Amino acid sequence: MTHLRQIMLEELRRRNFADSTIRSYLHAVEHFSRYFHRRPDQLGPEHIRQYQAALFTKLKFSPNTVTLRLAALRFFYIQVLKRGWSIAETPYPKKVLHLPEILSQEEVARLIDAAESPFHRILLMTLYATGARRAEAAHLKISDIDSQRMVIHIRGGKGRKDRDVMLSPKLLDALRVYWRGLRRKPTDWLFPGNRWHTANHPITTKVLWTACQNAAQRAGLAHKHIHPHTLRHCFATHLLEAGADLRTIQMLLGHRDLEETTIYLHLSRHHLSATGSPLDALTIRGEGEQTQSA
């Protein structure tokens, strides 16, 4: 580990950044350095300008990814190198908002039924029943399942925030069946790692990704590009369609701002169909109907 990397790692940890953010920031600075084949402390504003342009033109990165790379470089220059940073010279690109893919409830049922194994099935059910992010689901502990209050405690979510979500009776029954089928009962993690689910560490998020991909293929839904976050979007959208209010959904998802949650208004069939198209108010001649002559 280089001296600069060590300093950056210490500065990130001092601020209690999430492990995923730390990995992303370190990778971004390393990529910046490799792109110019020089140490990052030998690169200046002109290199940053060229790099930002190349991220779009040569590497075809999305605006959101470019924003993350610039945030990492900004942190490195200000907190590690103690240099200035000009926002005017390094503007963040405009955000692009893509509406996520949403499955119907029937399609979600097909996906769960098509799970490759009982273990994958319980993972998919947990993702959909809780709206948890994949890292949150992977790191659930046995103690997080509160069957007395019928809630699941999600610890250390995005932004280091804890929250509670509902514990579905159907999910609780499925978890009990899953538990009885384990060779060795875990003492800590709800979903232990390794092939036999007996490790002293949780599964990786890749396991959840694989569970979604394999089930989508088997269910004939591969064209939908389903991943763990798809089930989180389905959780929120289906709750909204069932009559839940946005504030409740915001709390269940752990969104910091209600504006993040309003995206589901664009995805809910109930809200989309609540207002008719202005075309429906017009009186239009039927096809082939002749205009009356004067």
Structure tokens at 177: 């069946």
Note if 269 is an active site residue: no
CA distance 227 to 270: 24
Cβ contacts of 71 within 8 Å, gap of 6 or more = 25
For 263-272, b/e burial (b = at least 16 CB within 10 A) is: bbeebbeeee
Residues in a beta bridge with 145? 152
Query: From the candidates 110, 141, 163, 229, which is the catalytic residue?
Result: 229
Q: In the annotation, is 133 catalytic?
A: yes
Comparing C-alpha atoms, which of 151, 157, 125, 121 is closest to residue 139? Answer: 157
Identify the active-site residue in 69, 139, 232, 238: 232
In the annotation, is 134 catalytic?
Answer: no
Catalytic annotation present for 229:
yes
Determine whether 153 is an active site residue: no
Q: Which of 74, 158, 227, 271 is catalytic?
A: 158
40 touches 32 (CB < 8 A): yes
Residue 38 annotated in active site = no
Number of helices (H), then strands (E), belonging to the chain: the values are: 13, 3
Of residues 232, 127, 228, 226, the one with CA closest to residue 174: 127
Residue among 133, 139, 197, 233 flagged as catalytic: 133
- Cα distance between residue 124 and residue 196, in whole Å: 18
Q: Which of 50, 47, 56, 55 lies closest to 77 in space, CA to CA? A: 47
Task: Evaluate whether 111 touches 229 at the Cβ level (below 8 Å).
Answer: no
Token duo for residue 11: 């500065």
Active site residues: 133, 158, 229, 232, 255, 264
